Amino acid sequence: MERPKSAVRRPASSRARPSSLPAGAAPPIPARLLDSDDEDSHWLFSTAYRLTTTDISLAGFTTAVLLDAMRWQPNPEDELSPEETAAAEVAYTFGFPESSTPPVISLANKSIIVEGLKHAFVGRGGDLLIIFQNVGSGEGSALGEGAGADRAMNIVAMVLDCVNAAYAAADAEGLEGLAGVSVVLEGFARTGMFQIAGSWDSGQQIQLEVQAFTDALPS
């Protein structure tokens, strides 16, 4: 199967993205949303290392935002739970109105998070890369082993589910100025896994395919 021309999931109505890849360099091998045969749904990637600004530029992104999964582990010194911390950081990073900041990452608040992200993806002026730092649980991974690491990874999965739902909703509504949006999970490639899974507090399952980002970079 021929690779898609862009690694960035972009709305059909968007203007073409200027190419910033060196001559002969291939775009990233795509990751597809489960249950989707649409090549435009490629969006979720992983690395074993931290991206540099050069990596981001060569892959064609004009804007990047960071979320650190390390901060979503339980800490007895924190007043907030990991899910409360994640909700506050997502709202701050994506500029949610204070009145629309969810108190916690939970299924009951998913629609609030999705609505905030949907509007954050509009009118940016260029493609957006969302970088999750320190992703991966287990021996030798960024978060290490144990219940705290697993809890942080589950929060990552819930936020990814919101990102995907927000983009899909904005695209379906034909919102003008919708950016191309992709996600990179830094460190996740070290786990050797090609899917990230989790569940909402209701038990609703989350499962998303993940593939390598490195093919976007010059050899």
> How many Å from the N-terminal Cα to the C-terminal Cα in the chain?
22
Question: E strands within 119-210?
Answer: 128-133, 181-186, 195-199, 205-209
Residues 13-34: tens digit of each pLDDT:
443 433 333 333 333 333 334 3
The C-alpha atoms of residue 72 and residue 70 are separated, in whole angstroms, by: 5
Q: What is residue 58's predicted lDDT score, i.e. its pLDDT?
A: 85
- Of 162, 151, 207, 186, give the one whose Cα is nearest residue 51: 186
Q: What is residue 155's predicted lDDT score, i.e. its pLDDT?
A: 98
**CB count, 10 Å around CB of 17?**
16
Question: Could you tell me the pTM of the whole model?
Answer: 0.82
Q: Which residue has the higher pLDDT, 105 or 124?
A: 105
